[in-house]
Structure 1
Amino acid sequence: MEEFDKNNPFRTPDGYFDKFSESLRDAVGQEVPKLPNEDGFVLPDGYFENLHSNIQQKLTKDETKVVQLYPFKKYYMAAASIAALFLLVLGFNWNTGQEVSWDDLANADIDTYFENNDFGLTSYELAEEIPVDELVLSDFLNTQLNDEYIIDYLDENIDDFDDLNLEDEE
């Protein structure tokens, strides 16, 4: 066993643990336990007789005035709500002078709109509405289509290949 610190203030008397078991047997073996003769707690005279009246006195005391810790809190909240309302109104009126034009719309948005909405128009009716004046023939000629893209497009959009009216030229 390691040596304890010599500055330790706790010490046991010499031979304490040798005599401990004998003193414990003697204390347990006694027939009359060693109990104190006096009570540990004493009540004041007439405590239970005056208990009800004491409680009633404490209940009927006037309430003390409550002092608010943050008396200006409601003013701060009102000022913050007015500022938020002002910013909200200002934000709605900020961009009213700018009008939306067709140039602002992305082509993908227009395509998505036409795909999701059914107008009941045939492809011929749509072709009549498209302005041909702005189209350039080179836009169609310069586009190179890959055979894989064409086959994928036909697989996705054509249910029956007989509708294509393909003839064998061999």
Structure 2
Amino acid sequence: MMFSVAPAAPAAGAARIIGVSLGHRTLAEADHWIGGLTPPPVLACTHLVAEPFPHVAISLLTALPFESTPELEPAASAAATGQNGRAVRFPGVERLTGELTVSEILQRSSISRVEVLGSGVADPATVVETGDFVRPQFRGGELVLVTTPAAGGRLIPFERRDPTPCCADH
């Protein structure tokens, strides 16, 4: 169930966190919607919600107001007040392309930490092959990029643009 919702008239004042729930069924649908926003929000995160049906709600740091359909307003509120999410837009995201060291990622963006799944904080000199797709986790007010080991002592982001489906070889 998709809804076509245009932003309401710009509100006077500073950017604030708002929640939007439009019934996106997949992360890719929500990412696409976020990518089409003009002007782009300072921060945009996706949140998996279960009510009133499983879908992806969105939180935005923006000065623009957006409306959700009335039945999805609880999901929008949950996204706006959530302490965890998956960041799609954040300061510096456009500079995280190609191969970068952990140190470069931290310098070029608002990501505060790079972790290796199950191993803790990554070494600042380690190279991360971004695949031009970086989706850090928003945890309690900070962005954390979770990575996994790759060939040659490098790292790759845990979330990939085109992941291999579970049990693909069966």
Q: TM-score, normalised by structure 1?
A: 0.15
More helix by share: 1
Q: Which has the higher strand share?
A: 2
Instruction: Calculate the TM-score normalised by the size of structure 2.
Output: 0.15
Structure with bigger RCO (C-alpha 8 Å, 6+ apart): 2
